[in-house]
């Protein structure tokens, strides 16, 4: 079984669990408030701003047998640059306080998730980080356009508030 197949198989339950959360389901039904969208963006900022440093840490910790991942990680690092700024721009465009988000703390769950990612890379297995990436990125890609539409219409937000989604 390839690494990717193993990743998909071992994260399937977590991906489905995320899709089934009440906040995601409510969003897909158009049941979203501006405060909940801004809260989502706040937490997204606080984990996305760690993506590039986490990818660098993962690359640095790769065992010899997985050095082939350096090239793909370099590409991914390049692709992820600046996404945290996109989120701050979305917050500002939606009427939120981007400076308060940038300078404020994450929520507890976000802080723990990010800390766990660093710990997984440093103390366990750097490839374990790809499970979190696959769940979050794979889920967000499949939901982004639909969710953006379900948020934008009822809240009457400008397109500029959806560069991250």
- Dist CA 59 CA 75 (whole Å): 12
Query: Is 15 contained in some domain?
Result: no
For residue 155, the enclosing domain spans: 38-162
Does the pLDDT at position 144 exceed 90? no
Query: Is 11 contained in some domain?
Result: no
- CATH code: domain of residue 55: 1.20.910.10
- Dist CA 34 CA 152 (whole Å): 10
Predicted confidence (pLDDT) per residue in 17-71, tens digit = 777 778 788 878 888 899 999 998 999 999 999 999 999 999 999 999 999 999 9
Does the pLDDT at position 110 exceed 90? yes
pLDDT reported for residue 29? 82
Query: Is 6 contained in some domain?
Result: no
Query: Is 21 contained in some domain?
Result: no
Query: Is 8 contained in some domain?
Result: no
pLDDT reported for residue 59? 97
Supply the mean pLDDT for the chain: 90
- Dist CA 77 CA 91 (whole Å): 23
Predicted confidence (pLDDT) per residue in 54-67, tens digit = 999 999 999 999 99
Query: Is 148 contained in some domain?
Result: yes
Query: Is 1 contained in some domain?
Result: no
Query: Is 32 contained in some domain?
Result: no
Predicted confidence (pLDDT) per residue in 80-100, tens digit = 999 999 999 999 999 999 999
Q: Give CA angle at 56 (53, 58), nearest 5°.
A: 110
Kindly report which listed range (5-19, 58-72, 97-111) carries the lowest average pLDDT score.
Answer: 5-19
- Dist CA 47 CA 74 (whole Å): 19
Average pLDDT over residues 90-117: 97
Does the pLDDT at position 150 exceed 80? yes
Number of domains, the chain: 1
**Residue 3 CA from chain centroid, whole number:** 21
């Amino acid at each position: 079984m390839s690494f990717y197949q193993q990743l998909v198989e071992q994260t399937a339950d977590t991906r489905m669990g995320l899709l089934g959360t009440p906040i995601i389901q409510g969003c897909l039904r158009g049941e979203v408030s501006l405060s909940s969208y801004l809260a989502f963006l706040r937490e997204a900022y606080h984990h996305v701003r760690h993506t590039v440093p986490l990818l660098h840490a993962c690359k640095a910790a790769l065992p010899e047998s997985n050095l082939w991942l350096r090239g793909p990680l370099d590409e991914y690092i390049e692709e992820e640059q600046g996404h945290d700024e996109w989120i701050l721009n979305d917050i500002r465009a939606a009427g939120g306080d981007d400076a308060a988000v940038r300078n404020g703390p994450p929520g507890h769950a976000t802080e723990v998730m990010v800390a766990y990612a660093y710990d997984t890379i440093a103390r366990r297995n750097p490839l374990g980080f790809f499970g979190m990436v696959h769940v979050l990125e794979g889920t967000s890609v499949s939901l982004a356009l639909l969710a953006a539409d379900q948020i934008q219409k009822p809240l009457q937000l400008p397109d500029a508030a959806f560069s991250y989604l």
